[in-house]
Structure 1
Amino acid sequence: MANSDAVVCALAQSKMDESNVKANACQTTGRTFGAFGGIAAALRSVANSDSWSLEGVYLHAAPLFALEDTTNKALTSRPDSPAQDCGRDEVERCTDDAQKEEETFQLKFESKYINSSVPLYQDYWLKCMRADLQKVQHKRLANLVMSQCLAGLSSPPASSPISVSSPPGLYVAPYALWQELPEVKRKRLLHSLTASDVRLQEAMFELILSETSYQKSLHVAVGLFQGSAELRNALSPVQNHVLFSNLKEVCRVSEGFLLDLEARLGQNVVMSKIGDVVLSHLSAFRRVYVPYVTNMMYQEALIAKLLQENKKFVMAVKKLEKDPVCQRQTLKSFLVLPFQRITRLRLILENILKRAHEYSTDVTNLKEAIEAVREIVVECDSNVQRMKRTEELVSLEKLVDFGNVKSIPLVISGRHLIRAGALKKLTVKSNHTTGSTVSRTDIYLHLFNDLLLLSHKNGQRFSVQDHAMFPAHVRVEVLNTRMLGLPPEAFLLHLTQNRLKTATAIILAAETRLEKETWVQLLSSKQSIAGV
C-alpha cells in the first residue's frame, strides 16, 4: 500500500497547478473472451459455405408416401473409418477397430410410410430457415400495421375461419402432410377431426417426416463419403476418425428413433402422444450427439488443412460430391447434419406442445423432452467452449516468453482467457523547474479467470514483465485524473503480491473511456470470472 500511496501523492503534489495531459491512443484495443459463439462459432466456416445459400435452392416436391410396391434401397455399406473414441496417438488401434466395424455396420432402414423421394435433410433445414424468416418478417409487418391502426375503429375485425394451412404470405409448401396418408384419406378422418386436431397430427407427423429426411442424408454421409475407399486411402486413420467421428453411431440412433416413431404411427394413424417416444431415446441422443458436436471444432480445422495440403483428399471429395445422391450438396453440409438435427428437434417438439390439448397425458412428456434436448444442446455448447478455450491457451503459450521472470504454466484445467489488449503504462517524473512530465510505454495485459499477465509485445510474441494471481492479488483504483493532470482514460492497477511476492502499483491508460470502464469492471471482480 505504501508504494501505491506514494505514486498517487507524488502525482497530486506535482500536478496541482498544471494543465491536463492528453494520453496517446493505444495501439490495440482489448478483446474480451469468454462469451464465445459456442457451437455457432465452431461451425462458422460451414455456415459460410456455398451449400447454405438461400438463393436458387431447388426443393423437391415429388410424392413422398410409400406405396405397397415401392421400396427404398439403402446405400450399400463400404469399408469404414476408425471406431469411436480413437486417440490421436492410437493409430494401430483405430485401424483394428475400423476393420471390426466394417463387418457389423449396415445401412438397412426402409420407411413404411415415406418413399425414397423424401428430400435430403439439407433441403428440409433450408426450408425451415426460410419459413422462420418469413414468420419474423410477417410479425414485424403485423406489429407495424397494428401500431398505425385508426383510432376510430370501435371493434376489431371479425376473425377468419380456422385453417389448417399457414396464414397467407407465410405458407411454405410442405414436403408431405399427415392428411395425405392413404389411411387418413381412406377413413375420411378430415371430416371427423377438428382443425386443431389436424394441426396436432401434422405437427407430430413433421417429427417423423423430418427424421426420415435426416436418415436419408445420414445414409449418404456414411454410405457414400465415410464408406469411400478412395477417400479413406487419402487420409490417415486418425484423420479419418476426426473427420467422421461417431457418425455411424449417430445414424444407428436415428434409425432406432425413427423405427419407434413409425411404430407409434402404425398403432393408430391418429396419434394420441409422441413425447414418450422421444423421452425413451434421450439417453442415446446424449451419448452420440455430445461427442460428435464437440468434435466438430477439430473436424472443421482438419477440413481446412486437408483442402490446402492434401490433393488426394480434394480430388476424392469433388468426385463424391458429383454423385447424384448428393443432390449438389457438399461434404461439409453432410457433416453438419447432427448439429442441425439436435438443435431443430427442440423447435419441432415445442410446436407439438403448442398444439397439444391442455389435459393431454403427452404434455408432461413433451415438456420433459424439450428440457432434456435443451440440456443436450447446452452440454454440447459448453464442451465446445471449453475445448476452444483450451486450444486458445495452447496457442498463446507458444507465443509467451518469460525470460528472466520465473515461468508459470498457462495451460491448466479450468483456466481461460477473459480479456487481452494493449494499454499505456504512464510514468510521472517531477521537476521543480519544468514541472512534471508523463512518459508512456506500451504494455499488454492478458487477464485470465485466475491470473493476470503484464507483457511487452514484440511482433506476435509477448515478453512477460510481471504477473499476479487474480482476483486475490489484483485490484484497481479509480483516480481523480483531472486533479492529477492525467488523461481521463487512466486508472491505477494494484498488484498486492506480484511475481516477486511484493506489492506494486502502476498507472495504466486505455484508448477510450469505454475501454477503461471495461478493464476496471473486469479487474475489480471479487471472484474468478467464469465468462463474460
Structure 2
Amino acid sequence: VLVAGYDTVLPTDGGLSPLHWRGLASATHRPPRASVALQLRASSACLSSNHKVSPVSAQAMFELVTSEASYYKSLNLLVSHFMENERLKKILHPSEAHILFSNVLDVMAVSERFLLELEHRMEENIVISDVCDIVYRYAADHFSVYITYVSNQTYQERTYKQLLQEKAAFRELIAQLELDPKCKGLPFSSFLILPFQRITRLKLLVQNILKRVEERSDREGTALDAHKELEMVVKACNEGVRKMSRTEQMISIQKKMEFKIKSVPIISHSRWLLKQGELQQMSGPKTSRTLRTKKLFREIYLFLFNDLLVICRQIPGDKYQVFDSAPRGLLRVEELEDQGQTLANVFILRLLENADDREATYMLKASSQSEMKRWMTSLAPNRRTKFVSFTSRLLDCPQVQCVHPYVAQQPDELTLELADILNILEKTEDGWIFGERLHDQERGWFPSSMTEEILNPKIRSQNLKECFRVHKMEDPQRSQNKDRRKLGSRNRQ
C-alpha cells in the first residue's frame, strides 16, 4: 500500500496489506495549505520556550495537521477535476461512476471538518497542545466513511481496468485530464487510492506522536486511545476488502469442485481460503517391492479453508474431484525424522474425523522444506506454543528488518514494506521465515532475502519497548478519563 504524506507518496509499513495497487508509481502530492505552513513555521520558532510540549512531539502533531491539509487538497482535485467533469459524466453510466468514485464526497466532507477542527486547535495557542483527542473522536464517530470507500476497492479497481480497455473515450479523456498542470504528473489512479493511503498514514502519524509524548501523561492517554480507534478502522477496512475478494474466490472454487463423496457446501459467509496447492501422497507401504513395482507417491490437491480441509485430485478441465474432507480443528500434523532422500520433506497428516466419520492418515511429501513447514503451520497453527503472539513478544526472539518490499503471493504469506520489524517464529534452511510484524501482530511467511537480521540486542529491546508502549494494555483509569477528554475537546470548540 502507498501512503500520501504531505510531501510525497511513500511506502507504508504494510498496515493495509490487501489494499495494494500493483505497478503504481510513487509520486509527489500537493503541498499543504499556506496558512498551515505559516503556522508551522511560527510555532516551530517558539517550541523551545514551551516546557509543556517537547519540540519532537509538537513537530509530530504539526505533521499530522499539514499532511491532512495536503490530503484534503488532493481529494478536492479528484472531485473537481475528475468526478465533476461534464464530459466524463456523459461517458460513464451512473452505476460505473458510483463504483469508480464510491462515497468520496462523504470522505472529503469528513476530511474538511476534521481539518477545520485541527486548524482551530492550532489557533488556540501558538504552540499546539494536542491533536489526538480530535483524532480519537473522528476515528470513533466519523471514519466509518473510509471503511465504505476501502471495501469497494476490488470493484473499483476492476471497473477502472475494464473502462480503460473497453471505452476509448474514457481512456482518452482520462489521459487528457492527467496532463493538466493541476495533477503535477500524477495518474488518475493515484487520486483514487488517496483514502486507502490516508487511513494507514493517520495511524502511523499517531504512532509517531505516541512515541514522542511523555510517558504516563494525558497526551499519552489520548494518543493511545486514538491509535486504538484507528487500528479498529484499519482492521475493518482490511476485512471489508478481504470479504469482497473472498466471496468471489469461494464462488470460483466451488464451481471447480466435483464430489466423489457426500457433497460439502463450500460457500459460507464466514469461510475463506488459507492455502491451496499440490502435494504428493504416499500410495503404499515403504517396501522394496513397492519401490520397484509401482509409483510410491501420487499427486493430490489440497484446499485449506479457515475451518475446513478439502482433499482432491486434479482432473481434466481445470476441475478437482473431492475424495475426503475434515474440519480444520480435527487436523493433526507430525514431521517425520530423517528418513533418507526418498522421504525427505514428508509429514503425516491425521484427520481425526473425516468425511466418512472415521480417522484417516495421509503421508504427504512437499516439494521443499519450506513448503512442508508452511503446510504444517497452516494445517495445525497451534501445534507449538511459540506461535502464540503474546509469548513471542515476551521472549528475546530474533528480529529482522525489511530491506526490500515484498508482496504476498499466497494467502499464508505476509506483505512487507520497508523498515517493517518482525520477530522470527520459524526459519527454514531454504530461505523462508515465518514471522510476526511488531506493529500489528500480523503473521505469515516471507523470503529471508527481503530482510536483514537485527543483531544488536539493545535495538531489539528498544523495538519491543516501543511495541509494548503502542499496544499498551487498557488502563482502567484511562478508560474512566476517555469521556472527560472527549467532552473537554468539544468544550474547546
Does TM-score exceed 0.5, indicating one fold?
yes
For residue 494 of structure 1, report the CA deviation from its aligned partner: 4.2
Task: Give the secondary-structure state (helix, strand or coil) at the position aligned to 1:265.
Answer: helix
**Counterpart check, 1:286 vs 2:143:** yes
**Counterpart check, 1:218 vs 2:75:** yes
Task: Give the secondary-structure state (helix, strand or coil) at the position aligned to 1:44.
Answer: coil
Is 1:448–1:470's contact at 8 Å kept on the other side of the alignment?
Answer: no
For residue 64 of structure 1, report the CA deviation from its aligned partner: 5.6
Is 1:201–1:270's contact at 8 Å kept on the other side of the alignment?
Answer: yes
Q: Which has the larger radius of gyration?
A: 1
Distance 1:490 1:189 in 2: 67
Paired residue type of 1:330: P
Matches within 5 A, 1:74-113: 113=35
Distance 1:357 1:259 in 2: 26
Which runs of no fewer than 5 residues in structure 2 stay unpaired?
1-13, 388-410, 413-443, 445-493
User: Measured at CA, do residues 197 and 445 of structure 1 come closer, stay the same or move farther in structure 2, by a change above 3 Å?
Assistant: closer
Partner in structure 2 of residue 419 of structure 1: 275
Structure with the largest fraction of strand: 2
Question: Alpha-carbon deviations, 1:17-63, whole Å to 9, x = none?
Answer: xxxxxxxxxxxxxxxxxxxx773343232xx223x15xxx6x878x9
1:180 to 26, 30, 41: 41
**Counterpart check, 1:227 vs 2:84:** yes
Matches within 5 A, 1:186-201: 189=46, 193=50, 197=54, 199-201=56-58
Matches within 5 A, 1:428-507: 428=284, 437-439=293-295, 440-458=297-315, 461-471=318-328, 474-476=331-333, 482=339, 487-501=343-357, 503-507=359-363
For residue 318 of structure 1, report the CA deviation from its aligned partner: 1.3
Partner in structure 2 of residue 515 of structure 1: 371
Which runs of no fewer than 5 residues in structure 1 stay unpaired?
1-36, 66-112, 115-175
User: Measured at CA, do residues 407 and 325 of structure 1 come closer, stay the same or move farther in structure 2, by a change above 3 Å?
Assistant: same
Greater relative CO, 1 or 2 (CA 8 Å, sep 6+): 1
Matches within 5 A, 1:87-166: 113-114=35-36
1:43 to 20, 30, 35: 20
Distance 2:191 2:359 in 1: 57
Task: Give the secondary-structure state (helix, strand or coil) at the position aligned to 1:209.
Answer: helix
User: Measured at CA, do residues 338 and 305 of structure 1 come closer, stay the same or move farther in structure 2, by a change above 3 Å?
Assistant: same
Paired residue type of 2:83: Q
Distance 1:463 1:479 in 2: 28
Q: TM-score with structure 1 length normalisation?
A: 0.61
- Between the two proteins, the alignment pairs up a number of residues equal to 373
1:246 to 103, 109, 114: 103
User: Measured at CA, do residues 431 and 291 of structure 1 come closer, stay the same or move farther in structure 2, by a change above 3 Å?
Assistant: closer
Q: TM-score with structure 2 length normalisation?
A: 0.65
* Greater shift in the superposed pair: 381-390 or 237-246: 381-390
Matches within 5 A, 1:314-393: 314-356=171-213, 361-393=218-250
Task: Give the secondary-structure state (helix, strand or coil) at the position aligned to 2:302.
Answer: strand
Is 2:48–2:55's contact at 8 Å kept on the other side of the alignment?
Answer: no
**Counterpart check, 1:274 vs 2:135:** no
For residue 336 of structure 1, report the CA deviation from its aligned partner: 1.1
Task: Give the secondary-structure state (helix, strand or coil) at the position aligned to 1:42.
Answer: coil
Matches within 5 A, 1:55-74: 65=34
RMSD over aligned Cα atoms: 3.7
Task: Give the secondary-structure state (helix, strand or coil) at the position aligned to 1:395.
Answer: helix
1:409 to 234, 245, 265: 265
Is 2:151–2:240's contact at 8 Å kept on the other side of the alignment?
Answer: yes
Partner in structure 2 of residue 89 of structure 1: none
Partner in structure 2 of residue 399 of structure 1: 256
Is 2:284–2:290's contact at 8 Å kept on the other side of the alignment?
Answer: no
User: Measured at CA, do residues 338 and 479 of structure 1 come closer, stay the same or move farther in structure 2, by a change above 3 Å?
Assistant: closer
